Amino acid sequence: MSEALDHATAPLPECSQLQTLVADILAEARAQGATAAEAAVSFSSALSVTVRLGEVETLEHHRQRGLAVTVYSGHSCGSASTADWRPAAIRDTVQSAIAIARHTAADPYAGLADPARLARDIPDLDLYHPWSLSAEAAIERARDCEAAARAVDPRISNSEGSSVSTQSSLAIYGNSHGFCGGYPTSRHGLSCAVIAQDASGMQRAHWHSVARASSGLETAHAVGQKAAQRALRRLGSCRLSTRQVPVLFDAELARGLIGHFVAAIRGGALYRKASFLLDRLGTPIFPDFVTIRERPHLRGALASAPFDAEGVSTADRDLVRDGVLQGYVLDSYSARRLGMETTGNAGGTHNLIVEPGALDQAALLRQLDTGLWVTTLLGHGVNLLTGDYSRGAAGFWVENGQVQYPVHEITIAGNLNDMFRNLVAVGSDVDVRGGIRCGSLLLEQMTVAGE
């Protein structure tokens, strides 16, 4: 703890230092007989503080480093990793990977990315904004955030704490095709969770803010107030009887629905034939007003990347245009299994944007008319093979476009195929706090199970 009190995050190494380390790993792999190899080296430094009821609950300072190597002997491969950067450790780690490759069955689809697809020009995407935040300043900000929440209303009876975090990272990837690249990134966060209580019982809610630059964070006062207001509006929650009604997914939750869509078009799910969207390329998945774009080069965005985890250059593309599925989410291995080409998505997607509609949240509630506005989801009842969807939920019952009362202890159910096709509207209230940017989603109908 004393180390954390002395300073915030430690400075990152120079890119050249880690590039040299990657080159050493690849040279060692060649020397030990690998026909091809790839390596990644990373370093991160982070400070995190949690305050509860005005007292410091956790104060942590992390410095983590590691290296990972994958070697190929023909079409057999082996991987190993370590946190030790000494030459002897590198030699032993490569030796372990080689030994694994010798005992691994050949896989004709295994191998490095196509050299022609590797990034050549690497743009600066403005992803690194270190925050010179001392532990004392972080504690003070967390206290201010929690105090702002508790001051909103006497019914804020307890707190689960407020947290402040800052992290800086540097990662370098290289392979024996001659690619070697990397860049520093930063990520900062502020969150608060509180409990409201009255005669009807207790309700919990939270709010958080996240950004590449500390200047992009909401103020501690704003985060605390939002957490408190969200908890207070939950007081008096009741259950609903079972019914079929229109459902509005709050923007914070809507990106999760899009996440299920992305999971169903990932290469791994497709070549294993474990997706309800198998063989749907070029067919309508959503109504024709839905377009979903991938924009990897947005400056300062949370999921921007000039290249993927295999060094393949990223580029703008449409996953869905006018409701029709235009492409999958593939790395080199899954692409080969499917007889296709990588889409530059080794490691995930990069800034998926669901094109917003014209209606804000109030207008969406009016269009909902009578139905359920979902603001909380619980559990993980999603079957990607069949598309069946069933999750615990809480939110608000709406009549004539007006919120009537909060509801909880209910389950919402449907099938993702139907849910996507019967989407009624995409809101303009886009939530940008993640790799998927999406407004609220209004669905024509789902089953709500309660009493």
pLDDT tens-digit readout, 326-341 = 999 999 999 999 999 9
Contact present, 155 and 198 (Cβ < 8 Å): yes
Q: How sure is the predictor about 3, in pLDDT bands with cuts at 50, 70 and 90?
A: very low
Question: Partners of 59 in the beta sheet?
Answer: 49
pLDDT of residue 431: 96
Neighbours of 207 (CB within 10 A): 23
Residues 6+ away with beta carbon under 8 Å from 445: 244, 245, 246, 247, 414, 422
Percent of the chain topping pLDDT 90: 96
For the stretch 84-131, pLDDT in tens is: 999 999 999 999 999 999 999 999 999 999 999 999 989 999 999 999
Residues 6+ apart with CB under 8 A from 317: 293, 294, 326, 327, 343
CB 375 within 8 Å of CB 346? no
Residue 7 has pLDDT above 80, yes or no: no
DSSP strand pairing (243-249 vs 371-378) = parallel
Q: What mean pLDDT, rounded, does the chain reach? A: 96
Mean pLDDT of 288-312: 98
d(CA 257, CA 240): 23
Q: Is the dihedral of CA 133, 139, 144, 149 positive or negative?
A: positive
Whole-number Å distance between alpha carbons of 326 and 335: 15
pLDDT the model gives residue 22? 98
Distance (Å, whole) CA 330 – CA 321: 18
pLDDT of residue 2: 34
Give Cβ neighbours of residue 204 (< 8 Å, ≥ 6 apart): 160, 193, 194, 195, 196, 231, 234
pLDDT band, very low/low/confident/very high, at 1 (cuts 50, 70, 90): very low
Confidence check: pLDDT of 4 > 90 = no
At 8 the pLDDT is 54
| pLDDT at 6 exceeding the cut of 60 | no
Mean pLDDT for 169-180 is 97
Looking at residues 23-41, what average pLDDT do you find? 97
**HEC profile of the chain:** CHHHHHCCCCCCCCHHHHHHHHHHHHHHHHHCCCCEEEEEEEEEEEEEEEEECCEEEEEEEEEEEEEEEEEEECCEEEEEEECCCCHHHHHHHHHHHHHHHHCCCCCCCCCCCCHHHECCCCCCCCCCCCCCCCHHHHHHHHHHHHHHHHCCCCCEEEEEEEEEEEEEEEEEEEECCCCEEEEEEEEEEEEEEEEEEECCEEEEEEEEEEECCHHHCCCHHHHHHHHHHHHHCCCCCECCCCEEEEEEECHHHHHHHHHHHHHHCEHHHHHCCCCCCCCCCCCECCCCCCCEEECCCCCCCCCCCCECCCCEECCCEEEEECCEECCCECCHHHHHHCCCCCCCCCCCCCCEEECCCCCCHHHHHHHHCCEEEEEEEECCCECCCCCEEEEEEEEEEEECCEEEEEEEEEEEEEEHHHHHHCEEEECCCCECCCCEEECCEEEEEEEEECC
Average pLDDT over every residue of 155-171: 97
For the chain, domains (ranges, CATH) are: 2-232 (3.30.2290.10), 237-451 (no CATH)
